Structure 1
């Protein structure tokens, strides 16, 4: 068993998983792994996260894998996001772990540093890596080595209610943040609108995009030491923008965006910062909104250039202790080929790992809006200890965003958050 991974299990118990941008479909989970099947061939075990298993895509990948590996089988097991970091860390420490694992992109450095992932640098070209979108591939590389393959990505865009938009006399999507704020002012004064923008005060994923847009960071590294950098002019500017936007609605200042779709579905919220899968939840709850939802990129200060956003998503990795590495490599080649990568994008609405496959997103309004923003997207610090920052209580939200929205000193709040961010990032893994 890998000693670094054994040690990491204790660390993983203290952190929360970084949620990739997947939907919330319900599936059973299993943690067993098998290296041989009743027919005498080998069985490849693949862990996919709930929502990352569209039926048609699974059928296609399974058939292609079996065609490429006659006599061998594949066992796809669906895992839940709750406590997944600890579960994956424990599994990777075993001598017979799942062979291929679907992991949140910002968690890749954690597993790579623990020794749990196979170095696939030599396979990159065979997997189509020469065409991977650089922004997506950034999360799959650690210390200059390729430890995973980027699979899909997505980020936030503006979801809007077309009927309320028309009622306010608005006919075109804004191209700058100033135009968006002007539109929100009109919407706020429109009868029947409860929130021009429903923006929960602890929506830090959106705030991270504003930070990037302002040229700021959550933290910076000097040598081996991290420092929180929210108490800087650029970060405070981003916080002020967040506060201005939050005031256009009635969302609580001390809650996350987890249930925001339940407010939009009522039909009186004009706009919301959302992920594509939230539209499905909303129209299922309120079918009357099925043809009333539109999307546009979060604006920046420059017309024609979308605002920066946090890029969420998932990578596919091979366990370092896999007993079926050749089959695992074959699975990655099949799952990431143009046919299956495009099929997953079409089924899920998330961006594929190369812009050459964006044609699969035709007709998906969310995806077409976000693909404009993807080149401007970025990440939180891609380091093994990043999950410590997100561990509740998250200092970005509880020490900074919510206090600022409640009228407390921005500089004092930022300074308090910076202390906690630095402490968590500098913890030993």
Structure 2
């Protein structure tokens, strides 16, 4: 599982040091190509896909050479703010797996507004992105990043464990989801592997399925509303009383539990599929069950890709972003990684629809929602408000009382006064 969320199974991160952490000051001779440096934290099963983009770009022309350094996300988040302020960082970076982090770089004037937008292969085709993605990276009418990827979360399930429990197929409704999680919890095996920290969030999906919300349209907490309390209580009861999942798991621990065949279900993104398959799991992938009101909803995940405001090569850097997000590049990336395309003009691609992994994740793109989109201090809202709240209620807390306390924390962080 990705992330913060950076806990995907797969390739080992390469920790850059010394000269490897410089970039914007890089230059090339007048007769040689322009050198661009890129930092990313993509270390999961999808990592080869990003490396291939860089390799293909470099092979496609001779005027620009891109070098990508892969580092742990926390290393990037510690070093990048000051590096970009001083002009010693990379030309381009994925600052974090959290799209909301772009806001802090906009505030410090550390990121370049993107102007090379439009139609055609040499432009950034923003009109072809999923609409939520363009909106997420636009501040005061200016675009400051492009999506490095786009993923939806689906329901992974262990067919062997389902068969042993006498369950023929994946759940399709919330009621079935909850009943199956309880039935599959037996003999040292958990029905569902849930993480509550250092993970891409799963709990908001459980809330959304039953009408709950984390924040409202005014960026105020919605946790204390009756709808949100009612959406959480059944799942909290299942975890606390029926022990359908261990509590306190990080994303990596939740993944490991499922990979070991000790959990029957897990909510995760496409980056997890290769690891589960290599672990020998008899793997099934299904859409998130339909919500109580009959609608489909899941979480959409993206990481921003932005350019330093101090880069010496803004034209070439935007050229690379145009290539990264181009139709042909994204088609190849989706086919190799299992990620759904971030472009709407690939939604009906026959090759992608025929892929059993890609098709499930791609089918949920229209129903996907970003987590805390452009909510002020979103990263802190999650880390200091929502995560402690979930950890409290799944151990020994009271959903209603703890929601009131969490709401106060969230409202203070977002500046909500209502």
User: TM-score per shorter chain, which class?
Assistant: 0.7 to 0.9
Contact 1:107–1:384 at 8 Å: present in 2 too? no
1:49 aligns with 2:48: no
- Find the aligned partners of 2:205 and 2:142 in 1 and give their Cα distance: 27
Q: Residues 378, 114 of structure 1: CA spacing in aligned structure 2 closer, same or farther, 3 A cutoff?
A: farther
SS in 2 for 1:389: helix
1:372 aligns with 2:368: no
Greater Cα shift, 259-268 or 208-217: 208-217
1:386 aligns with 2:378: yes
Partner of 2:229: 236
1:37 aligns with 2:34: no
- Find the aligned partners of 1:80 and 1:186 in 2 and give their Cα distance: 38
1:171 aligns with 2:164: no
- Find the aligned partners of 1:56 and 1:175 in 2 and give their Cα distance: 31
Partner of 1:208: 204
Deviations 1:241-285 (A, max 9, x none): 43144355453333333311222233242212223333333444x
SS in 1 for 2:68: strand
SS in 2 for 1:227: coil
- Find the aligned partners of 2:53 and 2:189 in 1 and give their Cα distance: 45
Q: Residues 412, 186 of structure 1: CA spacing in aligned structure 2 closer, same or farther, 3 A cutoff?
A: closer
The counterpart of 1:106, out of the listed 100, 103, 116, is: 100
Contact 1:24–1:50 at 8 Å: present in 2 too? no
- Find the aligned partners of 1:268 and 1:67 in 2 and give their Cα distance: 46
Q: Residues 375, 255 of structure 1: CA spacing in aligned structure 2 closer, same or farther, 3 A cutoff?
A: same
SS in 1 for 2:390: helix
Give me the TM-score of the superposition, normalised by structure 1: 0.81
Contact 2:212–2:232 at 8 Å: present in 1 too? no
1:89 aligns with 2:78: no
SS in 1 for 2:303: strand
Write the mapping of 1:17-416 to structure 2, written as runs, cut at 5 A: 18-19=4-5, 24-28=10-14, 29=16, 30-33=20-23, 34-37=25-28, 40-51=32-43, 54-55=47-48, 58-59=51-52, 61-65=54-58, 67-68=60-61, 70-103=62-95, 104=97, 105-121=99-115, 123-125=117-119, 126-188=123-185, 194-200=189-195, 205-220=201-216, 222=218, 227-246=220-239, 249-284=243-278, 286-287=279-280, 289=281, 292-301=282-291, 305-306=295-296, 308-358=297-347, 359=349, 361-362=352-353, 365-379=356-370, 380-391=372-383, 394-398=384-388, 400-416=389-405
Q: Residues 159, 262 of structure 1: CA spacing in aligned structure 2 closer, same or farther, 3 A cutoff?
A: same
Q: Residues 311, 318 of structure 1: CA spacing in aligned structure 2 closer, same or farther, 3 A cutoff?
A: same
Greater Cα shift, 135-144 or 196-205: 196-205
- Find the aligned partners of 1:56 and 1:154 in 2 and give their Cα distance: 14
Any unmatched runs of 5+ in structure 1?
A: 1-16
Deviation at 1:57, TM superposition (A): 5.2
Contact 1:110–1:383 at 8 Å: present in 2 too? no
Deviations 1:63-89 (A, max 9, x none): 434544x34422222222124223221
Deviations 1:16-68 (A, max 9, x none): x9536865522423311153235543211222223377446534544434544
Give me the TM-score of the superposition, normalised by structure 2: 0.83
Contact 2:236–2:394 at 8 Å: present in 1 too? yes
Q: Residues 61, 204 of structure 1: CA spacing in aligned structure 2 closer, same or farther, 3 A cutoff?
A: closer
RMSD (CA atoms): 3.0
Q: Residues 212, 143 of structure 1: CA spacing in aligned structure 2 closer, same or farther, 3 A cutoff?
A: farther
Aligned residues: 397
- Find the aligned partners of 2:399 and 2:353 in 1 and give their Cα distance: 43
SS in 1 for 2:223: coil
Contact 1:310–1:378 at 8 Å: present in 2 too? yes
- Find the aligned partners of 2:76 and 2:315 in 1 and give their Cα distance: 26
Greater Cα shift, 43-52 or 341-350: 43-52
Any unmatched runs of 5+ in structure 2?
A: none
Q: Residues 147, 154 of structure 1: CA spacing in aligned structure 2 closer, same or farther, 3 A cutoff?
A: same
Partner of 1:4: none
Q: Residues 277, 95 of structure 1: CA spacing in aligned structure 2 closer, same or farther, 3 A cutoff?
A: closer
Contact 2:152–2:340 at 8 Å: present in 1 too? no
